[in-house]
Amino acid sequence: MNKKLLGSLLLVIAVVLVGAGLWWTNAMKTEVRPDYLRAVYDPIHFKPAIDKATNEQCLACHAEVLSDKVRPTSPAGVKAADAKAWYQVVSTYTGEQDTFHRRHMVTDFSKSVMNMKCTTCHQGNDPREEAPGSSATALPQTTTDITLRKHVNPETVCLLCHGKFPHQVMGLPGDWREIRESMGNNCMACHQAIRTTRHQVNYLKAAEIEKLGSANSEVCYGCHGGRAWFRISHPYARNPWPGMSTEVPDWAKDRPTKSELRFLEKLARE
């Protein structure tokens, strides 16, 4: 064969091979590149997978939830440190201003009394549910029906620790802030003996709460009225305690006698 011809033939083959190689690597790249929609609808967002999800699994995609920090100074020049809100004056509030997620999972105080998981609050995220009337069978709606759904149910989650101080059921004349001096500023004056089977749930550190709460009632009040987002309090289960009377007060007749099941499960991820 002609040497020149052989040379060009080899060149053509080389070009084809390199081209195919490049195409293949590229194809593989698209194959492994995370697909946005696939991630949005990742089964981990739904039941039953979400019940078994670990923080690490969620954070693999949502790391920013715990890494983002607030600006030390707002664009208008207000220092975060000078802009404390009413719920940030409970005496247990320490450290610099921080984000919502970090205040529940990362800051020193939150870690000392709580053991929250992503799934303690998040019980599923379906983008189709973020707007109303998005299912095929939904009836036509007027704009007045439109309320965006929330990612977390405030009533079954937030209310647990951000309800009003339930002074009525305690037979106390007013909110803790008004009457605490007359009670020696001490929840334990009564709660040494009453409703003592408490905080036996997987997102709270019961022993540490007792220790800190005995020394400073602000610890207790913090979750039971001190930063209340609601004008009601949570209808807590009345877990039987030693010395409990067999008579149930009227206000407690429809109360459960056991904490919510999903919070009792000893989670494998703990």
**Range 210-239, binding ligand HEC (CB under 6 A):** 210, 213, 217, 219-224, 227, 233, 236-239
Instruction: Report the alpha-carbon distance of residue 264 to residue 269 in Å, rounded.
Output: 14
Residue 190 makes contact with ligand HEC by CB under 6 A: yes
Residue 41 makes contact with ligand HEC by CB under 6 A: no
Select 76 or 254, whichever has its Cβ closest to ligand HEC: 254
Residue 201 makes contact with ligand HEC by CB under 6 A: yes
Site for ligand HEC in 7-26 (CB under 6 A): none
Q: How far apart are CB 29 and ligand HEC at their closest, in Å? A: 18
Mask 82-121, x = binds ligand HEC (CB under 6 A)?
-----xx---xx----x-xx-xxx-x-xx--xx-x-xxxx
The residue from 39, 193, 206, 232 that contacts ligand HEC (CB under 6 A) is 39
Q: How far apart are CB 22 and ligand HEC at their closest, in Å? A: 28
The residue from 80, 164, 183, 262 that contacts ligand HEC (CB under 6 A) is 183
Distance in angstroms between the alpha carbons of the first and the last residue of the chain: 74
Residue 164 makes contact with ligand HEC by CB under 6 A: no
Largest CA distance in the chain: 110
Comparing every residue's Cβ against ligand HEC, the nearest one is 213
CA distances from 129 to 105, 124, 157, 213 (A): 26, 10, 19, 40
Residue 123 makes contact with ligand HEC by CB under 6 A: no
Select 71 or 150, whichever has its Cβ closest to ligand HEC: 150
Residue 174 makes contact with ligand HEC by CB under 6 A: no
Give bridge partners of residue 204 from the DSSP assignment. Answer: 114
Residue 161 makes contact with ligand HEC by CB under 6 A: yes
Whether residue 110 contacts residue 66, with contact meaning beta carbons closer than 8 Å, is answered with: no
CA distances from 254 to 49, 85, 200 (A): 32, 36, 21
Select 77 or 86, whichever has its Cβ closest to ligand HEC: 86
Residue 50 makes contact with ligand HEC by CB under 6 A: yes
The residue from 10, 22, 61, 83 that contacts ligand HEC (CB under 6 A) is 61
The residue from 80, 129, 170, 175 that contacts ligand HEC (CB under 6 A) is 170
> Which stretches of 79-187 are DSSP H helices?
100-105, 108-113, 118-121, 159-162, 167-170, 176-179
CA distances from 41 to 45, 51, 121, 270 (A): 7, 16, 19, 26
The residue from 16, 18, 22, 60 that contacts ligand HEC (CB under 6 A) is 60
Whether residue 97 contacts residue 80, with contact meaning beta carbons closer than 8 Å, is answered with: yes
Whether residue 81 contacts residue 87, with contact meaning beta carbons closer than 8 Å, is answered with: no
Instruction: Report the alpha-carbon distance of residue 206 to residue 223 in Å, rounded.
Output: 13
Taking Cα atoms as reference points, which of 192, 257, 218, 188 lies closest to residue 87? 218
